[in-house]
Structure 1
Amino acid sequence: MDKMTNDTQMADRIVRYGALKPCKTAFIDAHTPGSDRKENFTIIGGGVSESPDQHVHITLPHGFNIGAAGQPPNCRNSLHSHRTAEVFFVLSGRWRFFWGRWGDAGEVVLEKGDIFNIPTGIFRGFENIGDDYGMIMAVLGGDDAGGGVIWAPQVIEDARDHGLILSEEGKLYDSKQGEHLPEGISPMPLLSEDELRAFPEPGTRDVVPGYVARYWDLHALADRTPALVIGENGVLRDKPGFEVGLLTRGSSTEEMHRHDRPSVLMPVTGHWNVVWAGNDSYSAGETVLAPGDTMSVPEGLDHTAYPSMSGDAALYHVVATGDAPGATWTE
């Protein structure tokens, strides 16, 4: 394979915050009051959007998906569940996460940089409780993100009352746009009471200690060496199919390293120089990442990242491990 030019070799693997393309009709609650102003972003992988309007920035498989949710104040994402891991960190704003069949089993408030490894198999939702537009970044386990979203029954019922119907195939139809379920296609069935009983209802004290990590605690841990945040031996011990680490100014280095799988860099604070060496496929080069930017680093490519300016600087690093995609909540 010929080396690509320095102008194009990484361009398709870097998504700038300002270039993110939102979808406002990604999910079944797109018309439901209180949820109708949210924006969904699919950055890496196919994601779990139910709308053909969703733009995917990087389609290369990584073993996980990267997405984001942007919401104005008092806007919420409705109760849902996934079959694989779902990890959020706050890029901006102040967010309340809640969970349980009706969203009242437990809750936690997260600030900038805080991270939440939401237990697989429980209904969860979130809302922006800050004063400004906020953004949370998400990592979903697996290349196919677990086959879609499982909605709490009331979400599907509310959506139907506002013109949106989800088919059994997971595709949205908007009656406000004159759309209807095709002949022979049934609506997504509601979960039965027996099925709903299989979704746990852990309380706040059960979830927060083992699944939530605060930014400044992690920042202190990563002062001298990078901190493994989520992983078998991480601060949040789990094997969701990927590892998440935190790198800060104090633990950054100009020494290069490589991974045998694609990895992803996601700054939380500060501006970061990313430098990579040349090989048979890529010319040597460098770029600067800012908060909200996302960069996919090819497998086997020597690279490094370190702050380019003074002040607080931290970035999350994600790499697949090939483990099972997340453990289901157990008592």
Structure 2
Amino acid sequence: MAEMDARIVRYGDLRPCKTAFIDAHTPGSDQKENFTIIGGGVSESADQHVHIVDTPGFNIGAAGQPPKCRNSLHSHRTAEVFFALKGRWRFFWGRWGTAGEVVLEEGDIINIPTGIFRGFENVGTDYGMIMAILGGDDAGGGVIWAPQVIQDAAGHGLVLGQNGKLYDSKKGQSLPAGVAPMPLLTEAELAAFPEPTTAEVVPHHVARYWDMMALSDRQPARVIGPDAILRDRPGFDVELLSRQSIPATPYSLDAHEVLMPMRGHWRLTWDAGAGTEGTTALNPGDTCAIPPGLSHALAPAMTGEASLYRVRATTDKAGPTWRG
């Protein structure tokens, strides 16, 4: 039981970091809370707490934000997938965030194309939470910021070094000797970033919760994968399970599996042999890392709506996802 306890991160135990990224002091972005659940993610701050260090081929994180708080424009080299756990979220993209946008409701998922600038903001009325899946064990080697984000941050005391670490002049910090500031992207480099429209992105990169629930009436809804609603090979597969589509018998896998409840309360049981069986409840916002070879079973713990995202590691290269 103790070994599995170490593999479950409870929503109520999440430890936020408000200084994770370069826009931590920028008005409009300074109330963000960043969470690294599995793997180090792409946080630029030494203050970031990592709940589970070992990665299964991908990273799991989360962002919590009050209404009208936004995450500044940035890009990644590998996959970045979000589902809205709580609240309404507007995702926008392009060099200035004006190329396209989409609003996600609770349960909706977006597989944001790599190689484009993207940002997001809480457009709901209460504190919101989005859960994130980042491709690769090292989450792609960090964040690529739009130049104006770095410039704005400098005016509020934060400088990003070429070593990928933040330095805060408000705390008396400065760049160490031999460490240069992160250079701004040149106009030639910026020209290489695509500017896809909403019509180009949404049909291939966004899946709606109730559509997925309808597809999960007899078997898990294949959400991200080569034969899924969102066809891609980002280094992991994503499925949505409902009470109608849970496996009828215990099962085990050769690959890592992460369970992320969306709605309802779930009962997880496992049997590792030699008297090491156990059971626990999983609730919305919890994250559970199932190791390869562990026999386990799932069942809704009570009546009512129940849904759960299941992420499985694959041997595919972790990105890119935007094909133009």
Taking structure 2 as the reference length, what is the TM-score of the superposition? 0.99
Could you tell me how far apart the structure 1 residues matched to 2:61 and 2:322 are?
A: 23
Q: Give the CA deviation at 1:64.
A: 0.1
Could you tell me how far apart the structure 2 residues matched to 1:124 and 1:188 are?
A: 19
Q: Is the 8 A contact 1:9 1:283 kept in 2?
A: no
Cα deviation, 1:197-227, whole Å, max 9, x if unaligned, reads: 1110000000000000000000000011111
Q: Which residue of the partner structure matches residue 217 of structure 1? A: 211
Q: Give the CA deviation at 1:9.
A: 1.9
Would the alpha carbon gap of residues 9 and 254 (structure 1) be closer, same or farther in structure 2, given more than 3 Å must change? farther
Name the aligned partner's letter for residue 83 of structure 1: R
Equivalent of 2:158, from 152, 159, 164? 164
Could you tell me how far apart the structure 1 residues matched to 2:283 and 2:221 are?
A: 20
Q: Which residue of the partner structure matches residue 3 of structure 1? A: none
Question: 2:33 aligned with 1:39, yes or no?
Answer: yes
Q: Give the CA deviation at 1:270.
A: 0.2
Could you tell me how far apart the structure 2 residues matched to 1:126 and 1:255 are?
A: 40
Could you tell me how far apart the structure 2 residues matched to 1:201 and 1:130 are?
A: 26
Q: Which residue of the partner structure matches residue 322 of structure 2? A: 329
Q: Give the CA deviation at 1:279.
A: 2.6
RMSD: 0.9
Name the aligned partner's letter for residue 15 of structure 1: V
1:10 alignment partner, SS class: helix
Show structure 1 runs of 4+ deviating over 4 A: none
Question: 2:278 aligned with 1:285, yes or no?
Answer: yes
Equivalent of 1:137, from 131, 135, 146? 131
**Structure 1, unpaired ranges of 5+:** 1-5
Could you tell me how far apart the structure 2 residues matched to 1:226 and 1:297 are?
A: 18
Question: 2:196 aligned with 1:202, yes or no?
Answer: yes
Superposition pairs for residues 78-227 of structure 1, below 5 Å? 78-227=72-221
1:266 alignment partner, SS class: strand
Taking structure 1 as the reference length, what is the TM-score of the superposition? 0.96
Cα deviation, 1:284-322, whole Å, max 9, x if unaligned, reads: 111100100000011111111110011100000001102
Could you tell me how far apart the structure 2 residues matched to 1:61 and 1:140 are?
A: 11
Could you tell me how far apart the structure 2 residues matched to 1:83 and 1:49 are?
A: 15
Give the percent of matched residue pairs that are identical in Structure 1 and Structure 2.
68
Could you tell me how far apart the structure 1 residues matched to 2:253 and 2:54 are?
A: 16
Q: Give the CA deviation at 1:161.
A: 0.4
Name the aligned partner's letter for residue 329 of structure 1: W
Could you tell me how far apart the structure 2 residues matched to 1:167 and 1:115 are?
A: 33
Name the aligned partner's letter for residue 198 of structure 2: T
**Structure 2, unpaired ranges of 5+:** none
Could you tell me how far apart the structure 1 residues matched to 2:272 and 2:254 are?
A: 16
Could you tell me how far apart the structure 2 residues matched to 1:294 and 1:132 are?
A: 22
Cα deviation, 1:55-89, whole Å, max 9, x if unaligned, reads: 00001120000000000000000000000000000
Q: Is the 8 A contact 1:120 1:327 kept in 2?
A: yes
Could you tell me how far apart the structure 1 residues matched to 2:246 and 2:4 are?
A: 22
Question: 2:302 aligned with 1:309, yes or no?
Answer: yes
Q: Is the 8 A contact 2:77 2:320 kept in 1?
A: no
1:195 alignment partner, SS class: helix
Figure out how many residues of one structure are paired with residues of the other and give that number.
324
Q: Is the 8 A contact 2:147 2:184 kept in 1?
A: yes
Could you tell me how far apart the structure 2 residues matched to 1:259 and 1:198 are?
A: 40
Could you tell me how far apart the structure 1 residues matched to 2:178 and 2:317 are?
A: 35
Could you tell me how far apart the structure 1 residues matched to 2:269 and 2:87 are?
A: 30
Could you tell me how far apart the structure 1 residues matched to 2:57 and 2:321 are?
A: 19
Question: 2:53 aligned with 1:68, yes or no?
Answer: no
Could you tell me how far apart the structure 2 residues matched to 1:224 and 1:254 are?
A: 11
Could you tell me how far apart the structure 2 residues matched to 1:161 and 1:80 are?
A: 18
Could you tell me how far apart the structure 2 residues matched to 1:11 and 1:277 are?
A: 14
Q: Give the CA deviation at 1:228.
A: 1.1
